[in-house]
Amino acid sequence: MKREKTKKITSIGGQALMEGIMMRGPLKTTVGVRKNDGSIELEEIQPLNLTKKYKLLRLPILRGVANMIDSLITGNKALMLSADKAMEGEEVPEEELSKFDLWLDKHFGEKAVGFIMGAAMVLAVVFCIAVFFFVPTWLFNLLASAFPFLNDAIIWRSAFEGILRIILFLIYMALVTLNKDIKRVFQYHGAEHKTIFCYEHELDLTVENVRKQSRFHPRCGTSFIVLMLIVGILIGLFIPFTDVWLRSSIKIALLPVTVGIGYELIKICGRHDNIITRIIAAPGIWMQHLTTKEPKDDMIEVAIEAMKDVIPENGEDIIK
């Protein structure tokens, strides 16, 4: 796979939101949202910055876990902010509200969106643990009971579990893409990548220049997830247990190791462009065909404004 060479690599990263983008630079983090009236509103938010606060968390592997926690919490904060901004001034007639909507409004008021997102995240975590950890092990045990030879080598079990997780992830991403709102988020995701590439190519941040860039970037959260799934296959080779609960519990306990290794790999792929890093990055780049879509010009405009707001004047964002 041939990847565009860049003149410089920036530490700036981002996240697609509801009708907007979060750009995170070394000095500040900004959420840019396209509001109902067509204007672009920028608002700075404060990330946890765990690796800056605690030296121990700057060590390899640990920094991956710290950055994962930081990204999840900061990303959720940005997502709720973008939802509030995007829906600001949008009123739904009371007669069109369901009883559940009225209950939420009565008990939570303006915090209803945050409550729904929080509850959805909890349910999503529970669902992911069940589907991605317990189900593959349970299914392999069923298969092994019919074909006992599969128990002769742990590689069969680990490969089956890992490949099934990747297939399930592919199916999930393909299904959510069918939702028009999620598709718009994926378009903003494409705008984020294109804008970062434009900056790395040292081109003026204009809609025309950004539009020409690739929407597939090696430092993407999608690539990180794919790398974690692949690393999980390798880690599974060192877990000899076959019991569903025991094996799954150990894998969950080893998640920090999986996250840490995945982070180090994505970091290497973001900084270096050679045959080895291209091979490592390839599965994640392929997956980005599902999670990034070609953005509209008004989406690119939001990405550009958010990007400009986090670029430090002293060039501290450039990785040498």
Mean pLDDT of 169-175: 90
pLDDT greater than 80 at residue 98: no
* Strand (E) or helix (H) holding 77: helix 62-86
Which pLDDT band, with edges at 50, 70 and 90, does 320 fall under?
low
User: Distance between CA 273 and CA 283 in Å, rounded?
Assistant: 15
Phi, psi of 8 (to 5 degrees): -150, 155
Is the distance from CB of 233 to CB of 161 less than 8 angstroms? yes
Q: What are 42's two structure tokens? A: 């920028």
User: Distance between CA 51 and CA 67 in Å, rounded?
Assistant: 7
User: Distance between CA 89 and CA 111 in Å, rounded?
Assistant: 15
Is the distance from CB of 266 to CB of 224 less than 8 angstroms? yes
Q: What are 33's two structure tokens? A: 């949202």
pLDDT greater than 80 at residue 36: yes
User: Distance between CA 220 and CA 131 in Å, rounded?
Assistant: 23
- pLDDT above 90: percentage of residues in the chain: 66
pLDDT greater than 50 at residue 157: yes
Is the distance from CB of 112 to CB of 74 less than 8 angstroms? no
**Least confident stretch, 39-43, 77-81, 94-98, 257-261:** 94-98
Mean pLDDT of 139-157: 91
Mean pLDDT of 4-17: 78
Rounded to two decimals, the pTM is: 0.85
Considering Cα of 27, then 28, then 29, then 34, what sign does the dihedral take? Answer: negative
The chain-wide mean pLDDT, for the chain, equals 87
